[in-house]
Amino acid sequence: MKELKITYTDTDNKKLPTYKDYNTSVWTIADALKVKTDDLTTSMPLISYDFPTMDESIMVWDSGALRNIHGLTVTFKGWYVMWSLVANKVDLTNKNIYTEWHNRNNVAYIGYWYSKDGVEWKFGGRLLNKSADLRPWEWSGGLVMREGKENIVDMFYTSVSGEPSESVVSVSSGKILADKDGVWFEGFDKTTEMFQADGVHYANINEDQYFDFRDPHPFINPNDGQVYCLFEGNVAGMRGSFSLTDKETGILPPNYSVDPGAKYGAAAIGIAKLKSSYADGDFSEWEMLPPLVTALGVNDQTERPHIVFKDGYTYLFTISHHSTYSGNLQGPDGVYGFVSKDGLFGNYKPMNSSGLVLGNHSSQPYGTYSHFVDMEGYVQSFIDTIPASGQDYQNPSEYRIGGTLAPTVKIELKEDRSFISEVLNYAQIFAQKKYLDNYTYDIRS
């Protein structure tokens, strides 16, 4: 298989903005007015009501392949590996599935899977030891092979509690091991807290009781070789107190009036820079930087932000919901994108003019969510709720809850535009790099 190389070429040799001197980019109300649900080039395929499930005893949602710090999906000793947010089903007959699914965040833990072909997955159980948990719930993040080490991996995640309401970006580290029968992990018995909402660059609970602060995505910026971490945040400031200027509205159509509710939308794609030593596996010190993109007046949540470097462009992807759009704006649940020609700290424009990259079709508005775009444009997501044909997606007897991964799809990234081009297998991942594939297994005593 060909090995994918990340190319970042500063073709014009111009001086790119750095983390010290960049401007936050804005997703404007005018941009969001261009969002069109059901444009076929930016829509998820319809999911069959008879979709297969990966494991009937658990519910699965946000997931991600084992990757390296450059963003390439990797295999380990011939195994594809994946983490998922998981909740154990209490009632295996699925009679209570609606309630269990909608309460899943309050019992979420990180589980893992392994596979020989990237299609058929075997569930391996918990990834972190319970002793690692500083708070009861484990929410999203990413599983990353440590650069320069043979089998050290870091599970970046969000350590969350309800009472008190806390959400801390965290990491737990350990070893990945494999033999011919499967994959397992050792270590992962403690957690390092990385950073939390500071109320200065990002809203904290005192400013916004509905604040979001989670979903770490660390990576090396190919342009300066430094480790950064993206995350979901909100714009700092008191909830609802924002005034929306031309900067946030963009150029509005004649007679368009901004809905008064718009000021409650304050999503931000956050970024922090690692100050402690990556080589030593020390993730304890970070510098909080201003957001890369804000959505003031547009949307209150830009979740699971992640990044793709391709053909000299930097693509920022994030997932968002119909229900978190502000004021009278509309858009489907799905993945949105922003693209810069000037590196990580350049000016980002919404992809496809609107920001929408892949949304659910209006006949399956809650069909899929938590899309993750890899370096080659393969997009993973989970199945949420699929209505029976022609049935009402709001009537519980007429839909099926997913809790399993959707068919992977491929998108082509062409400068500032994207096009869906392929539908692949359910839960399929593709590896761009293989670690120790020709390794002969030790005999385990």
What letter represents residue 183's amino acid? V
Q: How far apart are CA 336 and CA 319, in angstroms?
A: 6
- Contacts to ligand FRU from residues 327-386, by CB under 6 A: 369-370
The nearest distance, CB 217 to ligand FRU, in angstroms, is 11
| 63 in contact with ligand FRU (CB under 6 A) | no
CA 89 to chain centroid, in Å, comes to 24
Q: Are 160 and 135 in contact (CB under 8 A)?
A: yes
Contact with ligand FRU (CB under 6 A): which of 263, 304, 310, 371? Answer: 304
CA distance to 9, 53, 126, 145, per residue, from 68 (Å)? 21, 28, 21, 5
Give the single-character DSSP code of 274.
E
**Cβ proximity to ligand FRU, 142 vs 387, nearer residue:** 142
**Cβ proximity to ligand FRU, 301 vs 314, nearer residue:** 301
Which residue shows structure tokens 């993109």?
Answer: 293
From the CA atom positions of the chain, what is the Rg in Å? 21
- Contacts to ligand FRU from residues 112-141, by CB under 6 A: 139-140
What does the per-residue mask of binding to ligand FRU show for 188-227, with x meaning CB under 6 A? --------------------------xx------------
Taking the alpha carbons at both ends of the chain, their separation in whole angstroms is 34
Please tell me which residue in 31, 208, 212, 303 is annotated as part of the active site: 303
Please tell me which residue in 62, 212, 232, 384 is annotated as part of the active site: 62
Contact with ligand FRU (CB under 6 A): which of 60, 85, 127, 274? Answer: 85
The nearest distance, CB 158 to ligand FRU, in angstroms, is 5
Contact with ligand FRU (CB under 6 A): which of 7, 9, 103, 105? Answer: 105
Q: How far apart are CA 413 and CA 422, in angstroms?
A: 13
CA distance to 19, 211, 231, per residue, from 197 (Å)? 19, 9, 11
What letter represents residue 222's amino acid? P
Give the single-character DSSP code of 102.
H
The nearest distance, CB 140 to ligand FRU, in angstroms, is 3
The nearest distance, CB 80 to ligand FRU, in angstroms, is 22
Q: How far apart are CA 391 and CA 133, in angstroms?
A: 42
Q: How far apart are CA 369 and CA 85, in angstroms?
A: 13
- Which token pair is 284? 């304890």
Q: How far apart are CA 301 and CA 233, in angstroms?
A: 8
Q: Are 272 and 287 in contact (CB under 8 A)?
A: yes
**Cβ proximity to ligand FRU, 138 vs 248, nearer residue:** 138
The nearest distance, CB 321 to ligand FRU, in angstroms, is 9
**Cβ proximity to ligand FRU, 333 vs 342, nearer residue:** 333
Query: How many other C-beta atoms lie within 10 A of the C-beta of residue 106?
Result: 12
Concerning whether 303 is annotated as a catalytic residue, the answer is yes
The nearest distance, CB 177 to ligand FRU, in angstroms, is 27
Q: Are 42 and 356 in contact (CB under 8 A)?
A: yes
**Cβ proximity to ligand FRU, 231 vs 426, nearer residue:** 231
Query: Total residues contacting ligand FRU (rule CB under 6 A)?
Result: 15
- Contacts to ligand FRU from residues 152-191, by CB under 6 A: 158
Which residue shows structure tokens 């709720």?
Answer: 385
Give the strand pairing for 303-310 and 58-65.
Answer: unpaired
The nearest distance, CB 99 to ligand FRU, in angstroms, is 16
- Active site residues per annotation: 62, 303
Q: Which spans of this chain sit near ligand FRU (rule: CB under 6 A)?
A: 61-62, 85, 105, 108, 139-140, 158, 214-215, 232, 303-304, 369-370
